[in-house]
A and B are shown apart, each in its own frame.
Chain A
Amino acid sequence: MSRIRRDPRAALRAVTVATAPRLRIDRAWRGDSAFANETVAAPVEVAPRPVTIADPDYLVFAIADAPGGALTRHDRQVLGAARLLDGGGKAAVVLLTPCAVAAGDAGIAGADRILPVAQGDAWDPEGMAEAIAASVEKYQPRHVLFCESADGGDLARRVAARLGEIVFESVESLSSRTAIRPSGARRRESRGEPQRLMTVAPDMIAPWRGAPHEVTPLDPAVPSAAPRGILCAERLAVDAAEIPLGEAGLVIAAGNGVTDFSGFLGLACALGATPGASRVVCDAGSLPRGMQVGASGTVLNADCYVAFGISGAPQHLQGIGQVGHVVAVNTDLHAAMIARAELAIVADAQAVMPALLARLGAKP
């Protein structure tokens, strides 16, 4: 749509009352018929239209961990990295996941195509690597990006060994022309053109923030049978209290509003959560210093955080900056923690904790 070009002198003509003996301007003028063909429409907030890449020049593969079908923060960063390599919207980013991911969410994260990599019920890295290698051979993508996570990094190296290529791993800085990774005990770095196989270090490359993309499915390739070395695999139950606080996925924390600490630790155990605390509680010696969450304690990397009786001082909130989901129980409606929380409960923590325990006890 081509808009009529605005005449820059028309505005001045419309407001000019007299030019002699001096220029006089009607400053109260608010616009009328003289500007009829030049009204500038007020910008309307419209949801950005999904971008469609129907006929890509080449493909970029992004392999997500997506446990349980939800993209992790790291997966989104890998998709963001893939979009950096798309030549300014010329390439399609293909998301390969072991579990089906909702198309809408994948589009927001920057994917154009979804390619499911079939995986049975069991964790099977050998089969996955074979399936990804088959897809790479079928579609010949220009780049294949993996997460440098435990399973993602393992998969990347299996695929690289299978394809007989190198993997440029733990990329910390990426643009369309250069990729940089640490080497030599992190004393040196290697810099070169983006390679075909790369893994992306966590929290170094920003996720995609542009307009969402239209997602269409792609046919998976049929993998050949992989040699089986892993005979069986099972997750072991671990005691959540033993997990280092910085690694834990679910943390519940007690603040100055909690008085019954043994009840609190019992609740953590029943929930399968790792216990944490605010500084006031650790200073008082009610809980060990190792449990302190915050700027001078541990910075969490959890998915979910539950705060009982914590006001939400800035030093404490810095410790949960990365946490996506926060629950707060506090008697003060105006506490910062209540504002930060996705589920905020204004109630006495001392009453809610036993109620939680009772519910958990009833439902083993």
Chain B
Amino acid sequence: MKAVVLLSAGLHPNAGTPMPVRAELQAIALARGLGCEITGLHAGAKNPAIADCLGHGLASITVLAIGAEDDPVAALAAEITAQKPDLVLTARRGQGGSDTGLLPYRLARACGLAIAADAIALSKAGEGRLSVVQSLPRGGRRKLDLKTPALITVHPSAPPPRPFVHRERLAGKIEEKPGVREAVEATVFEDRPYRPRPKLIGDGGAAGSAEERLRAATEVKSAGGTLMIDPDPAEAAAAILDYLRAFRP
């Protein structure tokens, strides 16, 4: 089986220095677990973050040279159509670019691949089929069977990446070749430093003054529900189970 792991130019969230995106390294580990023949693929300029991925279990990386204003999807789609891998792996969202997580979906559409999000485990399920375990909120898991060739995005709660090995990093090869260039219209968004904003607390009723909101978040308010005083334990148990019915798995 042939797998391509898409690598993006990541940034460290605090330091702002180039660094591989963790979920892409986890994708490398997942593909290795399947016993695939793996290559890395990046559209853009050569970057130290991309090169560091070699140390985490990749033997070779192809860098498609395109300009900063070119659409990576066009270059990646042309390369993937040419290479015809069975499996394309990406992170669920980048870390350092626009980080929209949209690229995998656009690419899957451009190449006609099936797509599944948030994988934490992969296994083969017969000819032309792949079994994927998805991570859901609340610790949930869902198992999908997917037609290959497929594109799968990897969730951060997948197994950890392989540790960095400097010798592998030195032995790995980066091949650079010109990519298909297709300019996209420039986005109209203003870019500025991130400003953290407060999260809603309590039931999220942001109405009223700051004092009211603080009170709503911290005060003990009577829920005004049912009160049972000294019931029989069996009766209490029945009431609790009745109440919990909607919440139990």
Contacts and interface: CB of A to CB of B under 8 A. Distances in A.
Given A187-B11, A188-B194, A203 B199 contact: yes
14 contacts: A154-B117, A184-B97, A186-B194, A189-B192, A189-B195, A229-B116, A229-B150, A231-B146, A235-B140, A238-B140, A273-B248, A329-B236, A352-B236, A359-B238
B244 A271 contact: yes
A238 B139 contact: yes
B233 A233 contact: no
Main secondary structure of the interface of A (DSSP, over half): mixed
Nearest to B153: A154
A191 B105 contact: no
Contacts of A249: 138, 247, 249
Interface of A: 73, 76-77, 123, 149-151, 153-154, 157-158, 160-162, 166-169, 172-173, 182-193, 203-207, 209, 227-238, 240, 242-244, 247-250, 271-273, 303-304, 306, 312, 314, 317-318, 321-322, 324-327, 329, 333, 336, 338-348, 351-352, 354-356, 358-360
A160 B145 CA distance: 24
Interface of B: 10-13, 16, 95-102, 104-106, 108-109, 112-118, 129, 133, 135-147, 150, 187-195, 197, 199-207, 217-218, 220-223, 225-231, 233-234, 236-241, 243-244, 246-249
A300 to B, nearest CB: 11
A235 B204 contact: no
A213 B101 CA distance: 34
Given A161-B108, A204-B199, A167 B100 contact: yes
A192 to B, nearest CB: 4
Contact of B243 (A231, A327, A360): A327
B102 A161 contact: yes
Given A243-B138, A345-B239, A322 B202 contact: yes
A231 B129 CA distance: 9
Nearest to A129: B105
Nearest to B97: A184
B100 A73 contact: no
Contact of A236 (B98, B102, B143, B241): B143
B241 A234 contact: no
B191 A188 contact: yes
B114 A229 contact: yes
A183 B206 CA distance: 25
A152 B114 CA distance: 18
A347 B228 contact: yes
